[in-house]
Structure 1
Amino acid sequence: MGIAGTAPGTGAVAGVGAPAGTHELRTSIATVCLAGALEEKLRAVAAAGFDAVEVFEPDLLASPERPAALRRRVEDLGLSVSLFQPFRDVDDVDPAAVARSAHRLHRKCEVALELGTDLVLVCSAVHPGAVRDDALLAEQLHAAAEVAASHGVRLAYEALAWGAHVSDYRHAARLVAAADHPSLGNCLDSFHVLSRGDDPADIASIPAEQVFFYQIADAPRLSMDVLPLSRHHRCFPGQGEFDLERFHAAVVGSGYRGPVSLEVFNDLARQADPTATAVDAMRSLRHLRDRTFRHRPGLPPASPPPSLPRPPTVRTWAFTEVSSSPGTSGPVTELLTQLGFSCTGQHRSGPLQLWSNGDARVVLNQRHDDVRARISALGLATGGVSGGARALHERARTLLAPVVDRAVGPGEAEIPSVLAPDGTWVQFCDDVPGGGGWLADFTPCSPAGSPEGDPVRAVPLDGVDHVALPQPFAGFEAATLFLASVLGLEADPVSVVPGPAGLVRTRTLGSPGGRVRIALTVAPTASMLRGRPAAAGHVAFATADALAAARAFRGNGGAVLPVPDNYYDDLEARYGLEEEFLGQLRENHVMYDRDADGELLHFCTRSVSRELFVEVLQRIDGYRGYGAANVPVRLAAQGAPPA
C-alpha cells in the first residue's frame, strides 16, 4: 500500500502529507486484533505489510519492554505507532474524579510520546458518573485537550455505541466543535456507527481537519446487545455483514487523509496464529479499498491507481477434484459409478482420472498415500482470466494469497492455481473451443460397468450445484474473506442450525448469476472429538428429476442416506403434500423443502469418509436455499452407527 500520511511522531494534523485529492490511506492495525505477546504481534504486523500499529494499553502493560524501547523496535520493523489507546473516563460529575483523570492523562501523554505517537484515543464515558450536560462535557473535553496540548499530544474523541450519554458520532462531533480546541478531534469507528444502524452520510458534515483518526471493523448481524457483539464478534472487512464500502466511501469522500486502522475484538482471532491473522487483516483492507474504488468512481482518484487486477470471471464449474489414496479409492469409484459416472480420461502424466456424467465432472487424484477421500481442488471455468496466469498471480499476490507453482508437463495446459486457507486448491480453467485446454491433458479410457458387471443405469445429473467445504473452527472468517476477495464471490448471511452434536455454521458464497456456489461449514466440535463422521464436505450435483435420480442410483446399488418416517409425517403436517408424492419421497429417502420462490427435492448418499459424501438436488421454480431445515435430520443420520 502506498504511504500518504505523517511520518512517525511528527504530530501533523489529519490530511497533511497526503497527496491532494487522492484517497490512498496509510494502513494500521490495533494490537488487540492479534494473539500473542506484544513483540510477536509487532513482527506479524510488519510481515503483513502494514504501515503503522495502534498500541492497546493492556498489551503495553504486559510487555517487559519500556515504551522507548518498544518505539525503537517498531521503527526497526519499518512501522510507526499511529495511536495509543484507550483513555477512559475523561469526564465525570465529581470534580475530584476529573482531577484524578487529568493527572492520569498527563502520564499517558508522556507514554504516548515515548511510544512515538502524538495521538491518544479518548472514549465516551460509560460509567454512572458520566456528565449528561453537553455544555459541561464540552468544558471538560476542552480542559483535557489543554492537558494534552501541554505535551504536544492530540486527543481523538470516540462515541462508544454503548456510551452512557454520548453514543452517536454526530453528538460527539458537536461536542468536539463546542469544545473548540485544536488538540481535540474526532475518531470515526465503523463498528460504533453501523452496529447501531446509523447512517454514515453525515460524516460529510464534519470538517476534515476535525477528524483525527479512522477505525474500521466488520461484524455479523446478530440479535444481541452491541457491547457483547463488540467484545466478541467483530471481524475484518468482508468477513461480516456491514456495508463497509459505503462507510469507507463516506470517510474518504469527506476529505480525511489519515490512517485507516483495523480495531477488531474477536475471541477466535485472539487464539489464532498472529501471522496468519495479520495477513487476513491486510487482505481485508486491500479488498475493501479495491471494491470501494471500483464501485464508486465518483470518489477522488486513488494514488497510485488500484493495483488489483479484476477478479476472474467465474462462469461455471469445470470439475471437482477428490483426493484418495490408491488403497482407499475403491469406495469413491464405486460411488461415482452408482451415480452414473464413468471413467472418461486418464491424465497423461500422473495418477489422475477424469470421471464424467454429462456436464458433471470429477477428477480423482490418487497421487498421495494414506489420504481419506476428500475434496482437494475446485476447477472453475472462466470466461478467460484477464491477462491469463500473470493477472491471476498478481491479484493473488497482492491479496497475500499463496499461488501454487504446479508442475506442468510438455504440452500440458497451464492452469493458474491458488491455495485457499483450508488447503484446497482453486484452479482456473479457460474456456477453449473444441474441448481443448485442461481436458486435452486426459487421454480417453474405456467406460466401466457396475462392480457386478451389469449395465449402469443413467442417473440424470446437470453438473455441480454447489460444493461444501468443511472448515477448521477458527478458519471460517478467513475462508469467507479469501473467496470474496480473491475469487470475487458474493457472500450470503451466516446460517446456524442445530445438530445432534451441536450447532453447525454455514455460509454460502456465489458468483454473479449463481452458477458457482461454495458453502463453508463448521461442524460441531463434539462430533469430531468422538470420531464420528463429521460429513461436512460434499459435492451437490444438480438434477432436473431428483426422484428419478434416486431410483437410478439405488438401482445401481447405491446406498441412500436413510431418512426416518417421522420426518415424512412432519412433511405431511406442514405442507399437506399429496399422498402419492409423499410416498415417493419416503420410498426413495428424498427430502423436501419450500421457500417463497419454489421447492427443493434432494437426497444424500452414505458417507465414504469423514470428509466426503454426495448430495443430489433439484431446484424447482427458483428455489434459492439449501434445505437448511433438513440439516439436523441429515446430521443425525450420518452420525448414527451403520445399520
Structure 2
Amino acid sequence: MKTSIATVSISGSLVEKLHACAAAGFDGVEIFEPDLIASDHSPEEIRALAERLGLSLDLYQPLRDVEGVDEATFAENLRRAAATFATARRLGISTVLVCSNVATATVDSDAHSAAQLRRLGDVAREHGVRIAFEALAWGRFVDDYRRAWRIVELADHPAVGVCLDSFHVLSRGHDPAAIEDIPGDKIFYLQLADAPALSMDVLSWSRHHRLFPGEGDFDLATFVAHVLATGYDGPLSLEVFNDTFRQTDPDRTAVHALRSLVWLHGNVTDAKPPVGFDFVELKAEDTSEVEILLDQLGFTSRGRHRTKPVTLWAAGDVRIVLNGHQARDVAPRVASVGLLVPDAAATTRRAADLMAPTAYRRTYATEQPLDGAVGPDGTEFFWVGAPPAGSAPAWVSEFENGLPPRPDHGVCAIDHVNLAVPWQTADEAVLFLTSVFGLSADAPTEFAGPTGLVRSQVMRTADGSIRLPLNVAPQVLEAAAMPQHVAFACSDVIGLARAARARGLRFLSVPDNYYDYVAGRFGVDAETVAELRELDLLYDRSADGAFVHFYTRTVGTVFFEFLQRIEGYDGYGTDNAPVRLAAQRSVTA
C-alpha cells in the first residue's frame, strides 16, 4: 500500500505540511494549488524538499470548470490548463486532477465533454502529464462517477483517466459496485474521506465535515475493495476538508491521518475487542475525599501497593486504583482505564501497528508489566489477558494489608467510563478506540448544558461489556474543567443509595421540578416518585425497560454514578444530563 495525503487536510504552511507528512511516515502527498500559491518557495524548491524528505509528489489539484462549455470559453480553459500543467511539471508531478464543471458548464452532453477532455488530454501530453477526471457531487451536469467514466471512455485518450473520491460517490448514495467495471489502469487516482451522516447540502458537508477513515459513517472498506478489485495499484490518498484539522497541530494530525489509512487497509495484527473493564485509575495528590466516597458507597480498601503510593479499592470484582505517584498539585481525575482482553500480546502488536503512543509505567522484576497506549486526550489505556472466571489479574496480588470485602456491596460491574475530550481531538479519539480496540461508535447525541451544547458519542463493544461515552465540551469550556465520571452497575440501586446515605453520603441534589416532570412524562406512581425524590434518584424509561440512577458530588474533576438497568434498557438517561449539569454547576457556583 502506498499512502498519500492532500496538503489541504492539515494545517500550516506548505513546507510545514511536507515535514509533518514525512515525519508521520506517508509515502507521498497531493499538492493543493492554494497551498503552493501561498508558499514563498518555488515549485522547484518544493520538489527538492519533497525529495530530501523522501516524499513523492503524486497529484496537483484542482483544475476546475473546464469541460462542458462553449468553444470560446474552452479556448480560454485550454490556456489556463496549459499553465497548470506547466506548474505540475515544475513540481515533478505527472497527474493533475480535473473536477467536473460546477460554475460554467452550459452543454449537457457526454460526447461534448468527452471531445473537450480529449483535446485537454492532447495539451496534457505535450507537458508530460495526464489528467484524472473527477465527478464532483455538486457538479452541474456530471455528478456521478459512472457518468465521469462514460465520458473518459468516450474521450479514448491515453492521458485521460478518472479520479475516484469516496466522498463524492458515497455522499450521493451511489452504488460503488460499478467501479469494478472500470479498468484499473484508467483509474489514475484514488481519494478517500469518511463523513458523518448529515442532512445538509452536499457542498457544505464536503467542505466542513469530512473525516478520516473510521471516524464517520461511510463504508470505506467496501469502497476500497471495489477499487482494488480493478487492479488499481496507485496511492491510497486522503483528501479531508475539515475545519478542526485545519486548526490543529500538523504533526499530530498527520500521524492521526496515517493511522486511519493503516487501519482501513487492514494491514494490522488482528485482535479481538476487550471483554470487560479491569480497573479505573484515579490520580491525585490527595485521594482522601475519594476514599471517603468509596467507603460510603460500599467499597473497601484492598491494600497499598508494595512499592508505590497507590491503593486499591474494590467492591466484588470492581476495582478502583487511587494513584498518588508523581501527582503533586493534581486534583482527582481519571488517569487510566484498564481493559481485559482475550489476547494481550495481540492487542500490544495491534497498538504498535497503528502507531498508538505507548503508555509507560515503571515496574519491578516481581511486578506484572502492563502494556498500554495513550489516547488522544491523554487518558492511558492498559490491558491484560482476561483471567479465568472467579480469579483476579496477577497485578492485584501486588497490593497488601487490605481489608476484607463487604458482603453487601451491591455493585456488579463498571458499566461505563465517561471521558471529557477536547473538541479538537474528539474525532481522533473515535478512531483511536475503533482501530486499536475494535470498539464501535453509537450515533452521537447532543444535550443542553449551562454553558452550551454538549456532544456525546458512546464507544462500545457489541455486548456492552465496554462502554466509553466521549463528551465533547463546548468550545467556551476547557475539557479539563468538564467533569468525568465512572458509572457502576448495581443489582439494587435503591438499596445501595439507602445504605450510602446511612453512611453519610451527600448526593448530588436534584430539584423538585424534576420529579414533577418524571411523574407527568412517565406516569410513575406517587409512592415511587416520593422514593426517587427522597434519595435524589433519577429515572428514565424506554420501550425496552427502565433506568434508575444517582450521582455523587464531584471531587476534583471526578464523580461517580450508580445505576440499575431494568429489563433491556440500554441507554444512559441522556435526558437527565442537563439536570445533572445544572446541579453540578449550582454546587460550584
TM-score, normalised to structure 1, is 0.88
In the alignment, residue 396 of structure 1 is paired with which amino acid?
A
Contact 2:419–2:470 (8 Å) recurs in 1:
yes
Aligned to 1:370: 329
Q: Deviations over 1:316-336 (max 9, x none)?
A: 11110000103xx22111111
Partner Cα separation in structure 1 for residue 94 and residue 181 of structure 2:
25
* Post-superposition offset of 1:518: 1.0
Structure 1 pair 130/619, CA: closer, same or farther in 2 (3 Å)?
farther
Q: Is it true that 1:55 corresponds to 2:10 in the alignment?
A: no
* Post-superposition offset of 1:255: 1.8
Q: Is it true that 1:483 corresponds to 2:440 in the alignment?
A: no
Q: Is it true that 1:319 corresponds to 2:266 in the alignment?
A: no
- Among 563, 566, 584, the alignment partner of 1:638 is 584
Aligned to 2:160: 184
Aligned to 1:68: 44
> Which structure 2 residues correspond to residues 562-577 of structure 1 after superposition, within 5 A?
562-577=509-524
Partner Cα separation in structure 1 for residue 238 and residue 453 of structure 2:
29
Q: Is it true that 1:360 corresponds to 2:318 in the alignment?
A: yes
- Among 365, 380, 391, the alignment partner of 1:410 is 365
> Which structure 2 residues correspond to residues 555-634 of structure 1 after superposition, within 5 A?
555-609=502-556, 611-634=557-580
Secondary structure in 2 matching 1:462: strand
Segment of structure 1 superposing worse, 314-323 or 205-214:
205-214
Structure 1 pair 595/250, CA: closer, same or farther in 2 (3 Å)?
farther
In the alignment, residue 378 of structure 1 is paired with which amino acid?
V
Partner Cα separation in structure 2 for residue 376 and residue 523 of structure 1:
18
* Post-superposition offset of 1:572: 2.1
In the alignment, residue 443 of structure 1 is paired with which amino acid?
E
> Which structure 2 residues correspond to residues 365-404 of structure 1 after superposition, within 5 A?
365-367=323-325, 368-385=327-344, 388=345, 391-404=346-359
In the alignment, residue 142 of structure 1 is paired with which amino acid?
R
Partner Cα separation in structure 2 for residue 429 and residue 73 of structure 1:
44
Q: Is it true that 1:144 corresponds to 2:97 in the alignment?
A: no
Partner Cα separation in structure 2 for residue 432 and residue 319 of structure 1:
13
Contact 2:66–2:77 (8 Å) recurs in 1:
yes
Secondary structure in 2 matching 1:314: coil
Is there any run of 5+ residues in structure 1 with no aligned partner, and where?
1-24, 291-305, 449-455
Partner Cα separation in structure 2 for residue 443 and residue 527 of structure 1:
41
Aligned to 1:242: 218
Aligned to 1:310: 270
* Post-superposition offset of 1:534: 2.3
* Post-superposition offset of 1:397: 2.2
- Among 332, 336, 340, the alignment partner of 2:298 is 340
Contact 1:88–1:123 (8 Å) recurs in 2:
yes
Aligned to 1:41: 17
In the alignment, residue 120 of structure 2 is paired with which amino acid?
A
Partner Cα separation in structure 1 for residue 496 and residue 144 of structure 2:
57
Contact 1:459–1:548 (8 Å) recurs in 2:
no
Aligned to 1:420: 375
Q: Is it true that 1:506 corresponds to 2:448 in the alignment?
A: no
Q: Is it true that 1:470 corresponds to 2:420 in the alignment?
A: yes
* Post-superposition offset of 1:527: 4.1
In the alignment, residue 199 of structure 2 is paired with which amino acid?
S
Contact 1:459–1:553 (8 Å) recurs in 2:
no
Partner Cα separation in structure 1 for residue 360 and residue 445 of structure 2:
35
Segment of structure 1 superposing worse, 77-86 or 129-138:
129-138
Aligned to 1:168: 144
Secondary structure in 1 matching 2:131: strand
Q: Deviations over 1:39-76 (max 9, x none)?
A: 01001100111111000000000111111111111011
Secondary structure in 1 matching 2:275: strand
In the alignment, residue 204 of structure 1 is paired with which amino acid?
E
Moved over 4 A (4+): 456-459
Partner Cα separation in structure 2 for residue 566 and residue 174 of structure 1:
64
Aligned to 2:88: 112
- Among 495, 509, 530, the alignment partner of 1:548 is 495
Contact 2:65–2:104 (8 Å) recurs in 1:
no
Is there any run of 5+ residues in structure 2 with no aligned partner, and where?
none
* Post-superposition offset of 1:87: 0.3
Partner Cα separation in structure 2 for residue 54 and residue 351 of structure 1:
51
Q: Is it true that 1:534 corresponds to 2:482 in the alignment?
A: yes
Aligned to 1:15: none
In the alignment, residue 569 of structure 2 is paired with which amino acid?
Y
Partner Cα separation in structure 1 for residue 515 and residue 562 of structure 2:
19
TM-score, normalised to structure 2, is 0.96
* Post-superposition offset of 1:573: 2.1
* Post-superposition offset of 1:457: 10
In the alignment, residue 7 of structure 2 is paired with which amino acid?
T
Secondary structure in 2 matching 1:410: coil
Aligned to 1:515: 465
Q: Deviations over 1:573-625 (max 9, x none)?
A: 2221222222222222221222232221111111112x211111111222121
Aligned to 1:293: none
Aligned to 2:308: 350
* Post-superposition offset of 1:205: 1.4
Q: Is it true that 1:80 corresponds to 2:28 in the alignment?
A: no
Secondary structure in 2 matching 1:614: strand
Partner Cα separation in structure 2 for residue 547 and residue 443 of structure 1:
33
In the alignment, residue 534 of structure 1 is paired with which amino acid?
M
* Post-superposition offset of 1:105: 0.5
Contact 1:561–1:638 (8 Å) recurs in 2:
yes
* Post-superposition offset of 1:252: 1.3
* Post-superposition offset of 1:458: 4.3
Partner Cα separation in structure 2 for residue 226 and residue 381 of structure 1:
42
- Among 422, 446, 459, the alignment partner of 2:403 is 446
Alignment: residue pair count: 586
Secondary structure in 1 matching 2:8: helix
Partner Cα separation in structure 2 for residue 237 and residue 172 of structure 1:
24
* Post-superposition offset of 1:525: 3.1
